[in-house]
């Protein structure tokens, strides 16, 4: 993988999030968890390049997002779609779900959280903000339809420290 300047990163963000999915991984090389994500954003905040991800409170990955200061966000070629589906539906509480896939870990360059050899895009991020969503802040009432159990996402902003691409 080649490192690219974040200012030169070019993508179709809506397609990336909703169509391709991404793999969020938090922790350290020996203690980590991952989950597939399809909601988030990327841009500039507080004069820093950032990615914003959301994690429901009951997800096992939340423990790692709260317990470590960094995370990675990885995109993959279409041939890994089944692996991403597995990693989004099987809980890491139940065992080593990575073994159920064809993906392999790669040590990240700037953060403790690992990434993957098969990724076509890797964003290495340092957490800089965290907040629990509140239904009191929904300006569009239809948003509540996403939360029948009132399990509001926790929002994490991560400063993008490095970007790697094929």
Backbone φ and ψ for 12, nearest 5 degrees, come out as: -105, 90
Average pLDDT, the chain: 96
Residue 166: predicted pLDDT: 85
Q: How confident is the model at residue 38 (pLDDT cuts 50, 70, 90)?
A: very high
Give 132-137's long-range contacts (Cβ < 8 A, gap of 24+): 132/57, 133/54
Q: Which domain holds residue 145?
A: 2-165
Return d(Cα 102, Cα 99) in angstroms, integer: 7
CB atoms within 10 A of CB 156: 24
Residue 19: predicted pLDDT: 87
Return d(Cα 82, Cα 87) in angstroms, integer: 9
Share of the chain above pLDDT 70, in %: 100
Work out the widest C-alpha separation in the chain, in whole angstroms: 43
Look at the chain and report how many structural domains it folds into. Answer: 1
Backbone φ and ψ for 29, nearest 5 degrees, come out as: -55, -25
What is the average pLDDT across 60-68? 97
CATH number at residue 105: 2.30.110.10
């Amino acid at each position: 993988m080649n490192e690219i300047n974040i200012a030169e990163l070019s993508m179709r963000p809506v397609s990336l999030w909703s169509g391709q999915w991404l793999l969020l991984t938090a922790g350290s090389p020996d203690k980590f968890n991952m989950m597939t994500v399809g909601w988030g954003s990327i841009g500039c905040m507080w004069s820093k390049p950032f990615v914003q991800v959301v994690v429901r409170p009951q997800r096992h990955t939340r423990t790692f997002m709260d317990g470590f200061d960094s995370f990675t966000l990885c995109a993959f070629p279409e041939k890994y779609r089944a692996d991403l589906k597995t990693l989004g539906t099987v809980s890491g509480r139940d065992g080593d779900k990575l073994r159920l896939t064809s993906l392999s870990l790669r040590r990240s360059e700037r953060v403790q959280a690992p990434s993957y050899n098969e990724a076509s895009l890797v964003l290495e991020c340092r957490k800089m903000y965290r907040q629990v969503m509140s239904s009191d802040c929904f300006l569009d009432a239809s948003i509540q339809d996403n939360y029948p159990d009132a399990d509001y996402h926790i929002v994490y902003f991560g400063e993008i420290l490095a970007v790697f691409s094929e």
